[in-house]
Structure formats: structure tokens, C-alpha cells
Amino acid sequence: MDQLSPSRPKAEEAVAPKAAPKPDPLPSPTAEAAPKASWRTRLLMFGLPALLIAGGAGWWLTSGGSVSTDNAYVQMDKVSVAAEVGGRITEVAVRDGQQVAAGQLLFRIDGEPYALNVAQATAAIDAAEVEVGNLSASANTSSVDIAAAREDVKFAQVTFDRQAALMERGFTTKAAYDAARHALQQARESVRQAEAAAAEARTKLAAGPSSGVNPQVEAARVQRSQAQVNLGRTTVRAPSAGRVAQSDRLQIGQMMVAGLPAVTLVDTAHPWVEANFKETDLANMRVGQRAEIRFDAYPEVKVRGHVLTIGAGTGSEFSVLPAQNATGNWVKVTQRVPVRIAFDEKPARDMIAGLSADVRVFTK
């Protein structure tokens, strides 16, 4: 019996019931976040280096492709208007900052003295025409004098011939013969004198070869035309459109001197920028290259433009006192070259002459 007892547990083990199957485990939050964390990791590992490589390549490709300077200023055409005749200002028709059109009245000078000059020149024309009439009558008189002198010559010739015949026969005196000869000579001189007077009258009456008018009359007419021009110049008008500046010089009653600038017109419709680039920036710069302009006064404004011209000389070459580089204390200084930048579009804000600007020129 003791020998068979160890076999019982085996039988019991054989008939023991099977254990129930374990339920499936629930998914944990860590397992769901793993794919997301893996995607972000891959993005950081591969995307960030790729972005850095692309940025570096872009910087390498564009480095040296543009030059810029802040030594740039807005420029505009400026016309200094001066009176061409002197006189007292009687009317001022504009004010400072006013926009004017071409031909618009700016100011007026007292025109009474110039109107008197026109009247005086007209009187000079009348006097010249009267003088021409007198010369014409004198020429006619000279023709009559020539005819009378020729008749006197004929009579003196007959008298002389008679005296000469009587002198040959001895029926006259030597005194009578000489008197007849002297009378004949005087008659001939009278003819020559009358012919000279007629020629002088015809010369004075002759018309000019270019104008076809008597020179005295033409000179008087020119004087009247000049007087009329001066009278018209008492009204000063704008030679071009623009904005009025420095009009405080115009005061009613002030004496205006001919040739003295009285007012300035600024052409605000066609601005440009003069950028003074260093000479070391001009290696790749060419006319026509595009440019970008920004203004200190209007930080939000950006204007597209292009290189219009590159200066023919540095700024120091056109200064009042140019540098004397041949002296012993010479110091090399990087020179500046003025470059004109034209606008390709109308700025969003009104431009003012002299505004500071930043210019970038794309040389590639």
C-alpha cells in the first residue's frame, strides 16, 4: 500500500480541471503616444537639418547678389523762377506749398513804365516813316534839280560857243570869254551835285536786303517789339508744373531785381533717388538692374525701382574744394559714386525732396 501511494498525486493531476483563459490586457496611454513621439522625433532628426542645409544653400547662392547703402536721398527737379525785368511787385498769386500748373500766374510787376516804352517806340516808328517820306520828296526834288542843272549846262554851252566864235574873230573881250567858260563849268558841277544828292536820297530810301523794309523803320519796329516783350515779362508765369517753395520772397511793394531768383518750383511728379554707393560696390552694378527703396520718413513704404544712370565722377570730383591727392599727407579714402535710381511705381506717400532713403540694388 505504501508503495502505491506515490502514484495518487499523478492521477489527481491528470484529472485536475484546466485553468480559465486570462482576459486581453487593456491598451496603455504610453503605447498610443509612442507613434506620435516617434513621428516628431523623425521630423526633428531629418527636417531640421534639411531646413538648415536649405537655408545655408540659399544664403550661399544669394550672398554677394545685392549691394545697399543708406547714403541716399530723394531728389526732384527744381526750377528757380526769376523776373526778367525789374520793377515793383504789384500782385502775388501763389503761396508756399501750392501746386501750380504750367503757365499759371505767379506774380506781377508794375507794367506802367514798360507800357510807356511801348508808346515811345510806336512814336519812333511814326517818326521813321515820316523821315522816309521826307527822303522820298527829297529824291523827287533832286530829280527836278538835275533836269534844271542840265538845262543850265545847255544854255551855258551855247553862250560859251558864241563867245568862243567871237573871240576867234576878235569881236569880244577876254573877260567875256572867260566868264562864259566859267558859267559852263559851274553848270556842269551843278549837274554832278544834283545827281549826287539824288543818289544819296535813293540810298536812304533803299530797303534792307533781308527785311525788305527801310532800315530806320525796321529799327523802330524792333524797339517797339522789345518794349512789348518787356511789358509781357512783367507778368511772371510758371514755366512748368510743380509745388511752390520759398515764396516768402514775394511781397507786394518789394522791388524785384531782374535775374534774381524769386520763387522755386519743385517737380514733385517725377522724383528719383540719388544713392551714393561706395566704389567697392560697383563691380557688378549695371544700368537697368532692379532696386528696392525704403524711406526713413515712411518705414512702411517700399518702392520698386531700377538703376537709371551711374555717375560719371565721384562726389569729391564735383565738390567746391576737391581733394588734393598729390600732397604728402595723402590718406586713401573710399570714394562715393552717385547712382540715380528711378521709380518703377508711384509711391504710396507723397515724396519730399531731400528725404533719406535706404537703397538695395540686386546685382545678380
Question: Residue 15 — very low, low, confident or very high, per pLDDT cuts 50/70/90?
Answer: very low
State the pLDDT at residue 345. 95
Q: Averaged over 144-158, what is the pLDDT?
A: 80
State the pLDDT at residue 178. 84
State the pLDDT at residue 60. 59
Q: Which three cell numbers stand for residue 141?
A: 526834288
Helix (H, G, I), strand (E, B) or coil at 285: coil
Residue 27 has pLDDT above 70, yes or no: no
Question: Residue 129 — very low, low, confident or very high, per pLDDT cuts 50/70/90?
Answer: confident
- Whole-angstrom distance, CA of residue 132 vs CA of residue 213: 11
Q: Averaged over 177-184, what is the pLDDT?
A: 85
- Whole-angstrom distance, CA of residue 224 vs CA of residue 156: 53
Q: Averaged over 70-80, what is the pLDDT?
A: 95
The pTM of the full predicted model, rounded to 2 decimals, is: 0.62
State the pLDDT at residue 6. 44
pLDDT, tens digit, 9 for 90 and up, residues 103-120 = 999 999 999 999 999 999
- Tracing cell 554832278 back to the chain, one arrives at 192
State the pLDDT at residue 13. 44
Nearest residue to 309 (alpha-carbon basis) of 284, 266, 275, 283: 275
State the pLDDT at residue 1. 37
State the pLDDT at residue 338. 96
State the pLDDT at residue 64. 58
Question: Residue 211 — very low, low, confident or very high, per pLDDT cuts 50/70/90?
Answer: low
Query: What is the average pLDDT score of the chain?
Result: 83
Q: Averaged over 150-168, what is the pLDDT?
A: 83
Are the CB atoms for 265 and 78 separated by under 8 Å?
A: yes
Helix (H, G, I), strand (E, B) or coil at 264: strand
Q: Averaged over 330-359, what is the pLDDT?
A: 93
State the pLDDT at residue 329. 77
Q: Averaged over 76-102, what is the pLDDT?
A: 94
Amino acid at 351: M
Question: Residue 197 — very low, low, confident or very high, per pLDDT cuts 50/70/90?
Answer: confident
Q: Averaged over 137-164, what is the pLDDT?
A: 77
Are the CB atoms for 264 and 245 separated by under 8 Å?
A: yes
Cα–Cα distances in Å, from 82 out to 57, 145, 238, 243?
A: 60, 60, 10, 16
Q: Which three cell numbers stand for residue 150?
A: 542840265
Strand partners for 266: 78, 243
